[in-house]
Chains A and B, each alone.
Chain A
């Protein structure tokens, strides 16, 4: 079965610019997650979707970050405007259900560098 697909793999932007990341989860997975992983740290949950609805976005910096999952499949995460501290790997993951006592499968991530 195909895994979680993310693009682009790498992105370099200047501060105050905007950027968008794309994620295609595993077919049939209702739950989709975006994580931010700063170098040397564990992934931190930004937002969680169940189908096309937001289940948890309590840790998403809503003044600059936004995410959507139209049609309950693909998702995009946007940052506008970017700050230096946004430099990180952005990981997308999916799982079968919101209960999540099943494993989550991760994509390779998008490495963002803000200069």
Chain B
């Protein structure tokens, strides 16, 4: 079936460096994408989203890039801080069938570790 996947299960970066987390998706019907951050023992927390009519969106220290041609998303975190250590999920929003309710499908996640 169609799914959202991540290229790297773990990523370690030095504090202050930039982080890039990648995500591949295969569902061409997806038109809305969300990055979530999940800290240990907590539920996923919204970071940033992007709709398919955009290819870039910036937030505070985070940027999401969307390449629809190759079905690829990335999350860039500038000046990574210890508090950024968490698992990051990309999720795609899509409708399984015409007229049906939209679903939010998650990938397996990337563990980001920030080294001092």
Which of A55, A93, A106 is in CB contact (< 8 Å) with B101? Answer: A55
Task: Give complex CA distance A41, B36 in Å.
Answer: 13
Determine if A108 and B102 form an interchain contact, defined as CB atoms under 8 angstroms apart. no
Determine if A91 and B43 form an interchain contact, defined as CB atoms under 8 angstroms apart. yes
Interface SS, B side: strand
Q: Say how far B12's CB is from chain A's closest CB, in angstroms.
A: 17
Q: A41-B109, A42-B109 are in contact. Are A48 and B103 (CB under 8 A)?
A: yes
Which stretch in A12-20, A71-79, A97-105 binds the other chain?
A97-105
Determine if A44 and B106 form an interchain contact, defined as CB atoms under 8 angstroms apart. yes
| B contacts, CB < 8 Å to A | 4, 31-32, 34, 36, 41-46, 49, 51, 89, 91, 93, 96, 100-109
* Cross-chain pairs A/B with CB under 8 angstroms, 18 sampled: A4-B43, A42-B4, A42-B107, A43-B44, A43-B89, A43-B106, A44-B106, A45-B105, A48-B101, A98-B102, A100-B102, A100-B104, A101-B51, A101-B93, A105-B46, A106-B45, A107-B43, A108-B42
Question: 7 more A-B contacts (CB under 8 A) besides A48-B101, A100-B101, A103-B46?
Answer: A42-B89, A42-B107, A45-B103, A100-B93, A100-B103, A106-B36, A106-B44
